[in-house]
Amino acid sequence: MTSWVGVRSTATPSQIDAVARAVRTTPIIDNHAHPLLKQEALGKHPLISITTEATGEAIDAATTSLPHLRGVRQLAQVLKCGYTWEAVVAAIEQRRLDSPDDWAAQCLTGIETILLDDGLDDADDAYTWDEHRDFTRSGCKRIVRIEKVATELINKYGAMTWVSEETSRFDEFLIEFRAVISEAMENSDVAGFKSIICYRTGLGISRLPDEVWTPGVFLEIMEQYKYTSQNSFRLEHTALNNFIVHETAKVIRESPHGKKPIQFHTGLGDNDITLSKASPSLLQEFIREYPDVPIVLLHAGYPFTREAGYLASVYENVYVDFGEVFPCVSQDGQERIVRQLLELCPWSKILWSTDGGRFPETYLLAVMQMREVLETVLCEYVRKGHMGWRAAIELVKDVLFRNSNKLYRLGLEFSQLEEESDVELGPYLTDAEMLQVFLRGQVQPDFVRICWNDFTATPRMRMVPFRKFMALLNEGKSTDIGIAKAALGLLQNDKLIPEVTPVGEYRLHPDFSSLKKGPVEGHISMYAEFREKSGARVPLCPRSLLQRAVELGVENGLTFIFGFEIEFVLLERMDGKHPERYGTLSTDGHAWSVSRNFADPKISKLLRDMVSELDDMGIHVEQIHTESANGQFELILPPLPPVEAVDTLLHTRDVMNALATAAGYRMTLHPKPFSNMCGTAAHAHMSISSPNGSKPEVYESFYAGILKHLRAITAFTYSNPASFERLSDGTWCGGRWVTWGTQNRETALRKVEDSHWEFKSLDGIANPYFAIGALLMAGIQLGVVAKEKLIWGDCEIDPALLTENDRKELNVTQMLPLSVEEALKALKEDEEFVELMGPELVQFYINVKQSELNMLGKMGDKERREWIMERY
């Protein structure tokens, strides 16, 4: 019985380090940059321009700017020279003399490919777009600047001796312009187009082209060529500039070869720009006119960043790039820009670029500063609980690589950077280093536990002496443990189910992100996944199933947080003379949330030790109180992303059990320890943490998917005959009916607020990886993706009390299974859900459960009750 006031992160140091590692080692698709100058042309431009948009006499003042001072410091670190601008310039000049290509390649370290706008005026001084492949891991591509195309054609037509009608000249120009754009659409070396209309007439492009005035403007330009020696001109005529952009968009829209994006310069630039006309919000009418033409807003629109983020969030065809502000804006400013973009813009719509050009140092500083800022912002978000660490890693990969790869249809394979270079990307944390970070300030442990939860929900582990474990890590050897494939077919008494054989071996692969102290002094623990020797996932692995469900969510733009309520019962251990092994705890008037139950100093100390020990592990208990049955208590865990939440749940249970045993008690999760008292559950609170999670059309479909397949899901959440001893109406256990209700604790799903719902049909002897994985699989794929409708009405009373007419109106027509056998039958019959979970896993699970039922069926009620209490 809890509600969440907010999200508090318990991200471990190793999880934070995993985010940092992703930022430092994810390859970059630079979706917008300019060519590098050849060695002989470098001296034509001032090197000081690498951190400023200023030109002319204004550039000298850049030495007193924060971007310049930061650039000097970072370049000095890489060049290993003095921390002055003069020392940096001298060191760069020496690199140019020694090996200019090697220095350029070093500056571009970590860049997979560059999409190059080769429309600069000094093209003859620069490398061609194709020659940049020497500096990147993959070949580069072109971005066609449309104003340059138009200008070259206008120069061509102006220089011609025109013999036909003057009025046809514009038509000929237009035909040829469209032909060039069409040819670029078919050219695999062209990734997209770019417009610099922002510099010329501003971004206030009319929604429709001006077809009346534009031909006249063109003819006026042609007239200028008659009476002057002019052989080139600057395209800055509003009607003509707008017309060219519109024609490009029309060619893209009509092309049978797919859609290539148009990039628009927005926001800051040199003093040739009119800043008031540079806001991306001025493009809104144009965006609406071409909803199927991809549009990329360059440079975060800075200082109009929020406007750029807004446009990308509300228009499907709009993306926002946050290049150029690195390194032309201070570090604080860059962090604000990233935060402002993420305020409302989905990260699936965000791209990154260096906007590098001329000097390789522009690429170097852009990459260094972006990684530094992204690490700062994302690690802070993870620490504060704004996002899970796995989600942060996905964001990094999407923004730096996958989004551009998809948008520009590059077809590149993602391959993490594996080696450091002279350009410092920060430490590449090995498992040994992650462990060292975790142990910082702690006493060296004696043992490392490698843990898993099997098909019977039995907690199992292998234990390795710490000395041996560290030797393996330091020698670069695998810490995976070989384990017989038959291990997943073990019952609680170590009897094998008939379907398994002694042949074959899996590898037990520890996940260092799950590291925790305990559960007893001198031990540290982490959870593992079953892998094949090749490293491939094992379809039968419970933890891998949940991880697969999380990835399914990410693929569909959904992330989640889960929090568990641990209901448990403390039992007295009886001596051998007593007919029962465990007895009811002797307490005075034990009842729900009463204070007298904490008067017993032994119990009070035990509960305090539980909370204190967990807090020391980084697991911060939200609440603890008595429940209704004798010796029954509830401890509430904080919300976390799904895999971390389940790992934390299992860590917590181990610690609580160890402390209870040390205090002389037996702690049990038996769903119905006393036939005449309240049962014991493991309610799960869940909510959709991605930005769209609060939308009813998203979360209602998610929970509709769960309700539609709840009878099958029950096979994983009520997995033992004892589970169904608890299942009843009128006991606040979630009831027997497939339905939901707002703040209704008699329904299987209780809506708390928006996407935050509580799942009540779950107890402590279910494997939580299977249970939460099943909920997510059904909710995501069979709910959100399938656009399932929430056909069940909001049940406002105990569903057992509904009339027949009420049931029809609310669609409360199905009941939960009343036994494990019935639940397994419902699971087998739900073919859609079985296919999603994996037929091999489902059949193996059914085999284990049937063997378990045969074993338990031979026991009497008393023997079975104590047998379960011994193990759960």
Same fold, 431-538 and 546-871: no
Cα separation, 22 vs 16, in Å, equals 10
Average pLDDT estimate for 142-168: 80
pLDDT value of residue 430 = 57
Give the 3-state secondary structure of residue 871: helix
Cα separation, 864 vs 820, in Å, equals 15
pLDDT per residue over 346-381, tens digit each? 999 999 999 998 999 999 999 999 999 999 999 989
> What proportion of the chain, given as a percentage, has pLDDT over 70?
93
pLDDT per residue over 447-466, tens digit each? 999 999 999 999 999 999 98
Give the 3-state secondary structure of residue 301: helix
pLDDT value of residue 83 = 82
pLDDT value of residue 424 = 38
pLDDT per residue over 212-237, tens digit each? 888 888 888 888 777 665 556 788 89
Cα separation, 862 vs 872, in Å, equals 15
pLDDT value of residue 126 = 84
CB 346 within 8 A of CB 385: no
pLDDT value of residue 780 = 94
With residue 848 as reference, give the H or E element that holds it. helix 839-857
Which of 87-96, 154-163, 424-433, 483-492 is the least confident region? 424-433
CB 839 within 8 A of CB 847: no
Separation in Å, CA 313 to CA 300, 323, 393:
13, 18, 21
pLDDT value of residue 270 = 87
* Residue whose C-alpha is closest to residue 43's, from 123, 144, 125: 125
Mean pLDDT (the chain) is 87
Cα separation, 360 vs 338, in Å, equals 24
Query: Domain spans of the chain?
Result: 13-407, 431-538, 546-871
pLDDT value of residue 616 = 84
pLDDT value of residue 859 = 87
Cα separation, 847 vs 452, in Å, equals 20
pLDDT per residue over 99-139, tens digit each? 888 899 999 999 999 999 977 766 778 888 888 888 898 98
Average pLDDT estimate for 386-398: 91
pLDDT value of residue 258 = 86
- For residues 153 and 42, the model is more confident at 153
Q: How confident is the model at residue 84 (pLDDT cuts 50, 70, 90)?
A: confident
pLDDT per residue over 709-749, tens digit each? 999 999 999 998 988 888 777 677 777 888 988 998 888 88
Which of 38-42, 314-318, 322-326 is the least confident region? 38-42
Architecture of the 546-871 domain: 2-Layer Sandwich (3.30)
**Which CATH entry fits the domain spanning 431-538: 3.40.1180.10, 3.40.190.10, 3.10.20.70, 3.90.180.10?**
3.10.20.70
pLDDT value of residue 541 = 94
Sign of CA dihedral 310, 312, 318, 323: positive
pLDDT per residue over 539-585, tens digit each? 999 999 998 898 888 888 888 999 999 988 888 887 766 667 777 87
CB 574 within 8 A of CB 580: yes
pLDDT value of residue 134 = 85
User: The pTM is what?
Assistant: 0.56
Separation in Å, CA 573 to CA 134, 192, 578, 633:
73, 74, 10, 18
Give 753-757 contacts, CB < 8 A, sequence gap 24+.
753/3, 754/687, 754/693, 754/694, 754/699, 755/687, 755/688, 755/693, 755/694, 755/698, 755/699, 755/702, 756/4, 756/685, 756/686, 756/687, 757/685, 757/686, 757/687, 757/699, 757/703
Strands, DSSP E only, in 480-522? Answer: 481-484, 505-510, 516-517
pLDDT value of residue 436 = 74
Architecture of the 13-407 domain: Alpha-Beta Barrel (3.20)
pLDDT per residue over 413-433, tens digit each? 888 775 443 333 333 345 776
Q: How confident is the model at residue 96 (pLDDT cuts 50, 70, 90)?
A: confident
- For residues 581 and 273, the model is more confident at 273
* Residue whose C-alpha is closest to residue 466's, from 492, 450, 448, 490: 448
How many alpha carbons lie under 13 Å from residue 344 in its C-beta half-sphere?
11
pLDDT for 43 beyond 90: no
Instruction: Centre a 10 Å sphere on the Cβ of residue 196 and count the other Cβ atoms it contains.
Output: 21
Which of 75-89, 156-170, 309-323 is the least confident region? 156-170
Cα separation, 361 vs 470, in Å, equals 41
With residue 198 as reference, give the H or E element that holds it. helix 197-200
pLDDT per residue over 178-207, tens digit each? 999 999 999 999 999 999 999 999 999 999
Q: Dihedrals φ, ψ of 258, to 5°? A: 90, 175
- For residues 388 and 768, the model is more confident at 768
What distance, in Å, lies between the first and last C-alpha atoms of the chain? 22
pLDDT per residue over 581-632, tens digit each? 777 877 777 777 677 777 788 888 988 999 988 988 888 888 888 877 788 8
> What proportion of the chain, given as a percentage, has pLDDT over 90?
45
Please state the separation of Cα 70 from the chain's center in Å: 30
